[in-house]
Every structure is written in C-alpha cells, then in structure tokens.
Chain A
C-alpha cells in the first residue's frame, strides 16, 4: 500500500476557518507542500496579511509573523535582511496587497527583496464582508459597489502581475489559478519555481493566484469556480510575465 496523497508537514493540525469551498485552503496547502518538498520548512519564515488569511500564522508550521494591513512586504524585508539564508514569503490578499499595501509591494519589487510573495486575488474584501477591492471587476457587485463597480467612479481593476513585471528586480512574476486540477498543478509548479529562484538569491519572486470567495460572491463553491473561469481569467490572463531565464 503506497500513499499517493497525504497532508503535508508544512501545515499544522489546526483546521482552516475558511468558508466552505474557499480556495485559500488549496493555496495554503500548495505553499506548504512546496516548502516541504524543497526541504525549506525548517528555514521558512512567513508573513501573514490582514484579511481572511490572517490566521495562516496558525496554519503554516514554519515560523510566522503577523503584519499590519498591507505591510507584509516591509515586514518580510526586515526578516530577510536579518535571516538572509531563510526562505521568506508573504501571503497576501488583494485588499492587503493591491490597496493599502500597494507601495510596499512595488518597492519590495524595486529593491529586489529576495523573498516570495503569494498574492491571492479573489476580487473582493473577504474578512470584512464583501467590499469592493482594487481587483473587483467592472460590473461586479460588492457591498461598497452595490450597483456593480462603475469604472467612471471607481476605475478599472488593477493588474498587479503585469504592473510588477515592468520592475527589473521582480525576476519571476506569474499569474495562475486553482479553479481546476490542471491549473492547481500549474500553480504549484509556479510556487515551487518562485521559491527556487528566491533561494538562488536572484531577486523578488511573485505568484498571483486567482481564487474564489463563495460567501461574498453570493455563489456556491462550484458556481464560484465557474465564475472565476468565465469572468476573472479574461480580465486577469494566466501566464508568466517575467522569468529568470531572461535575467542573466
């Protein structure tokens, strides 16, 4: 009898508090599996955001720090400078990273801070109950966009990966999704690549992961995966925007 799949040591025994079908859980698992498979768990230090994933400091089994809203890339900068050999990562949502923390993520990329950011984009504020995020789609309803996001009043969603890909020291930038098995596998590959590049000290690495929010989208978990595929991917195209081969 051989084990094909079991819970990774990268996660603690604490059960996730996430809503049923929320794909944060899948993404947590992928990050934890990658850390375990690369043998980095003993040296990893993660930074939790403020948002639904704030409690990931209880879910990841490596050392963790809880950052103020939007400041994870700054906290991670401090951590990596003190622990240059550690595998450092931030795990952030779209409110945390693309709204209040926009300057921090841009400047961590500019400085080429040698840590990895896992950016979970679910086009809404989850923890606080469904407000509009910088990545909320035009026409998508949110509690602070009750008529649907109006581009004349609230602009267009921010494409963070494309934005960061213009920054020289952001040496690996990829957008992936977890809405089906092939994409989950691709997402894991991208996360693994990001940590490998980090440990080679080549610069800042970034993986944007499209994710669902059944509760605040007002859909079932399965409908949410479908909605992501049909609505988010056209606006947030999947793929690699910066790769280390280009960086000699």
Chain B
C-alpha cells in the first residue's frame, strides 16, 4: 500500500479499526479530539460497531470496562487531565483482567496545564496512577508510522495478557502529519475469550467480571497471579532502540518525539567530534533497564543524559538501571515547551565538562 499523509490522531484511530477495534468510548479534550471525531465518522460505517461520546472520561473508561468484559476489542483515548479521571477505571480493568487500549496524547500539566505536547504523565502511566499493585503495558511511539504499528499490536498484547495497554503519545504525535503505510502487523495466536459476558445461552455457568476479593488471602493470591503476567511481559515485551551507541562517550536516554530531537543533536555533536548515542525506550513499561545497565558497564560511556518534556520522571528509572555505575544527568522542558537541538547539544557538552 502506498504511503499516505495522515494526522497522528486520525492514523491511530484508523490503526485501531484495522486491528479489529469495533467499540470506541471517548470524550472531547485537546489535543486528542480528532480521535473521537474520526471514530464518530468511521464506526457507523462498520457492521456491529459503535461510537459513544460519554458524559465524562470517567464514564468512558467504565464503558470500556463493560465492552471489554463482553469480549470485544475496545478503545478509549484522552489527554492528561482526562487520563487522570480514568485512573480508577484503569485499575478496575487491570484487576478484572480485561483487555483494552487506552491512548494518552499527553499535554502540559499539572492541573489544567496547557494543550501543547509534554511527557509529564510518565509516572502516572508507568508507576500506576490508580490504586493497588498493577501495571500497564505502555508503548511510546516517536512517529506517526510507529504509532500506527504499535496501536495495532497493542490490541493483540491486551488480549494476550488480558491487561490494559496504553499508547502514550504527546501533542506532537497527535497533531503532526507524516507519511504512513498501514502494513499488516504480525498477528499473535490468542486464546478464545471464554470468560466474557455474552449471555450463558444456557450452555455454561455464568461468567463474572469482577475485581472484588473480599477475602484477603484470595485478594493476595489474585495479586500474585497478576504479577506472574507482569513478569511474562517483562520477559517478552521490552522494546528499545539503540542508536549510534558504538564508542559513545555520552548516552542520551529519551523517548517519543524528544528522541527525534536528540538524534538531531547527536548529528551536530558528531560533527564536532563528540561521540553520542541514544537509548530510546519504546516500551516505557516494561522498561528496558538491561539495555541501560549494559551501556553503563561500557568503559567508553562517561555519562548519561536523560532528556524529557517534563521536570524529570523517566530519569529515575535510568538512575535505577545505571545503579550508580556512571553519572546520570537530566535536561528537560515542560508545560508544553519543546527542547531544541541546540540546547541539548549545549547540555551534552556541559555534562562532558566542556571541550572534548
């Protein structure tokens, strides 16, 4: 199929439909509005599909719960403040082991914040914004093409692990237009959803979708079961890009659109004889700690510089992975401000102690 120019939000929506998503529950919030708008246009064209604009993000995530619990491929999308409203629903979905895809087109925070791109929801997405021990599989695309590919895979991952999967973009990913090709993503073989509420049809015992375990022993047992799944995800689903790492003196760690800006800075530094590499996590959870750890063990690596559109959140995971082996620095812009290549170059030089 030829490449076409797509706006990120609409491309993500179409990718979801390509992955078999037939039910979308959303609510307006900038900068992700094109996703519900696109779904409102497309779902009525599809047999048995439905788009519902909910009364709030709280209602939308609970509609996702109901639809996912009935065995369908369902999605919702929002942006930072809306994702905060969905946190209770998300922990219920994780607790009830329901598959779904949640798209967060991150904007500046906290509070009402702004509408420009940011990455300040990292903690919320990876450390759990809701209550209890649970995890989300969090995928961070850095281009519209990657967003399309990851969205399609997200539905298979969600079904395989019966867990919510988050696509974490930012305002740029959502609003940018880039050439895109909707390729067929490799399909996983997935078990039948015999647990779903479809009506017993008189053929089976009733199914119950539930996250309440009033007996503490049963509740703990359930938690341990969930963590067996998370261990599987950590084993099988880590995704990371290593860029220009050979002989790097300084290693950047950055994801999403920030990683693209860092590649620009790496090119500039290269021209000035400074060898810089980049580790780009594609899964924010499970985090590619081993890759960071391995880099930290290399003699040529003098320091790490984490760059984020936030006041520094992922940097903590970098420090955990480096575990004191090398210094870990941070540079970030937030609130919707986007770091420039020049500023990143300057920061790198500062970290390396000025002249080479």
Chain A residues proximal to chain B, CB less than 8 Å: 12, 41-45, 47, 54, 57-58, 60-68, 71, 74-79, 81-83, 86, 103-104, 106-107, 111
Contact = CB atoms under 8 A, between A and B. Distances in A.
User: Max chain A CB contacts within 10 Å: which of B64, B74, B198, B206?
Assistant: B206
A66 B212 contact: yes
Interface in B201-219: 201-202, 206-212
A20 to B, nearest CB: 20
Given A64-B197, A67-B62, A71-B58, A78 B70 contact: yes
A54 B52 CA distance: 26
Contacts of B56: 103
B54 A74 contact: yes
Contacts of A41: 200, 202
B67 interface: yes
Contacts of A68: 62, 65, 88-89, 92
11 contacts: A42-B201, A42-B202, A43-B199, A60-B206, A65-B66, A67-B65, A74-B58, A74-B62, A75-B65, A78-B66, A79-B70
Main secondary structure of the interface of A (DSSP, over half): helix
Interface string B58-93: 111011111111111010000000000000110010
A81 B197 contact: no
B208 A64 contact: yes
Nearest to B66: A78
Contact of A78 (B55, B58, B62, B198): B62
A79 B200 contact: no
B89 to A, nearest CB: 6
Contact of A79 (B55, B197, B202): B197
Contact of B199 (A12, A62, A104): A62
B62 A71 contact: yes
A124 to B, nearest CB: 21
Interface in B22-58: 23, 25, 50, 52, 54-56, 58
Contacts of A42: 199-202
Interface of B: 23, 25, 50, 52, 54-56, 58-60, 62-72, 74, 88-89, 92, 96, 197-202, 206-212
Nearest to B59: A74
A151 B60 CA distance: 34
B52 A77 contact: yes
A43 B63 contact: no
B206 A62 contact: yes
A71 B200 contact: no
Nearest to A58: B208
A44 B70 CA distance: 12
A86 B196 CA distance: 13
Contact of B210 (A65, A71, A76, A111): A65
A107 B60 CA distance: 12
B66 A77 contact: yes
B197 A63 contact: yes
Contact of B63 (A57, A64, A77, A86): A77
Given A82-B72, A83-B199, A75 B206 contact: no
Given A43-B199, A79-B197, 6 more contacts: A42-B199, A64-B197, A65-B209, A66-B210, A68-B89, A74-B60
Nearest to A60: B206
Nearest to B210: A66
A105 to B, nearest CB: 10
User: Max chain A CB contacts within 10 Å: which of B50, B66, B71, B207?
Assistant: B66
Nearest to B68: A78
Nearest to B65: A75
Contact of A111 (B52, B70, B72, B88): B52
Contacts of A106: 55
B199 A103 contact: no
A247 to B, nearest CB: 22
A176 B230 CA distance: 48
Nearest to B200: A42
A75 B208 CA distance: 13
B55 A107 contact: yes
A104 B59 CA distance: 7
A68 B66 CA distance: 11
B62 A65 contact: no
Contacts of B66: 47, 65, 67, 74-79, 82
A4 to B, nearest CB: 26
A104 B55 contact: yes
B172 to A, nearest CB: 31
Contacts of A47: 66
A106 B54 CA distance: 11
Contacts of A104: 55, 59, 62
B59 to A, nearest CB: 4
A68 B50 CA distance: 23
A47 B71 CA distance: 15
B59 A83 contact: no
Nearest to A44: B199
Given A66-B211, A68-B88, A104-B55, A86 B199 contact: yes
Nearest to A87: B199
B212 A45 contact: no
A78 B206 contact: no
Contacts of A58: 208
